[in-house]
Amino acid sequence: MSQRVAILMTRMRTDEKRIVAAIEARGAAVELVPDHALVFDPHTDAYGQFDAILDRSLHLSRSRYVTTLFQAAGIPTVNTPAVINLCSNKLRQTAVLNEAAVPVPAVRIAFSPKAAVEAMEQIGYPVVLKPIIGTGGQLVSLIEDRDAAEAVLEHKATLGSAHHEVFYIEEYIPKPGRDLRATVVGGQVLAVEARSGGGWRIGSNRHLKVEPIEASTAIYDVAMRASRAIAGYVGGVLAVDILEHPQRGPLVGEVNYAVEFRETEEATGADIAGAIADYVLSAARRGAHLAGASAP
């Protein structure tokens, strides 16, 4: 009997079409699960329906909670809820990367607007202010002086959300006209690209040009170390954003769980869709083995 893979998705983009084709080419069946239409009964749904779930939702909350429900039903998910939660929570991610001694920019965490200003001045302007929860560079601010800091912090205080009561302040790293991104699947670095033309923020929806590069050993090393810190040696499907510091070398700016790869494949020739298909089917086999081992 062929393996059955469900893909949780918001809409069918080129990336999702490539993954479906790659999974089907390997003899597995694919069912698309639109995230906006899913009604989940934790007592009856998911058990025995699928061998693995691939999360391609564009909504963080849906990714987090749907994978949690499927995992509770004993079905392997890619990525796992733990990986999604680490990637989407800047504070937790920073703690894990620091514990693993992965090089990152200087960071301060503050819990009031006054303390946040003091933290920014400890690091030195300019600094980057990020929300604790979020992905894709949303609500990220470059703050160049105290006046700008006080204005932005006033806006955050007015918003009133619990997410705006914790202030994540990061050292700004001047970039040599580009950002780097390493795509890591199953613990293997498949491609490293340079992204340019997108201003000061990292984010695949903001860059204008993607080019392959011959990455140094240090860049590969920092990408692998970040991946292992977030997803362990078995790995997941991750994109590691890397900043190039002129003295300290490559620093990990962020590890992302939502990997968009069409432009990466076009630029580098890497078969990322195929690697994702192989990884998901491998997760399905591991899950079947564990279920068999735990059966009475």
Stretch(es) of the chain classified as CATH 3.30.470.20: 174-275
- What's the pLDDT at 207? 53
- What's the pLDDT at 66? 93
Q: Which two tokens stand for residue 225?
A: 């170390």
Residue by residue, DSSP assigns 181-233 as: EEEEETTEEEEEEEEESSTTS--TTT--EEEE----HHHHHHHHHHHHHHHTT
Q: Considering only the top CATH level, what class is 106-171?
A: alpha beta
pTM: 0.90
Phi-psi region of 101 (alpha: psi -120 to 50; beta: other; left: phi over 0): left
Q: Is the peptide bond before 79 cis (omega within 30 degrees of 0)?
A: yes
Stretch(es) of the chain classified as CATH 3.30.1490.20: 106-171
Whole-angstrom CA distances from 50 to 3, 55, 70, 95, 240 are: 8, 13, 9, 34, 29
- What's the pLDDT at 44? 67
- What's the pLDDT at 259? 94
Nearest to 179 by CA among 191, 161, 193, 162: 193
CATH superfamily for domain 174-275: ATP-grasp fold, B domain (3.30.470.20)
Q: Which two tokens stand for residue 136?
A: 């894709």
Taking the C-alpha atoms of residue 121 and residue 42, their distance in angstroms, rounded to an integer, is 49
Task: Return per-residue pLDDT of the chain as tens, 296 residues.
Answer: 689 999 999 999 999 999 999 999 999 999 999 999 988 887 765 667 899 999 999 999 999 999 999 998 889 999 999 999 999 999 999 999 999 999 999 999 999 999 999 999 999 999 999 988 876 666 788 999 999 998 888 887 777 666 678 899 999 998 778 889 999 999 999 999 998 876 666 554 555 688 999 899 999 999 999 999 999 988 899 999 999 998 999 999 999 999 999 999 999 999 999 999 999 999 998 875 444 333 32
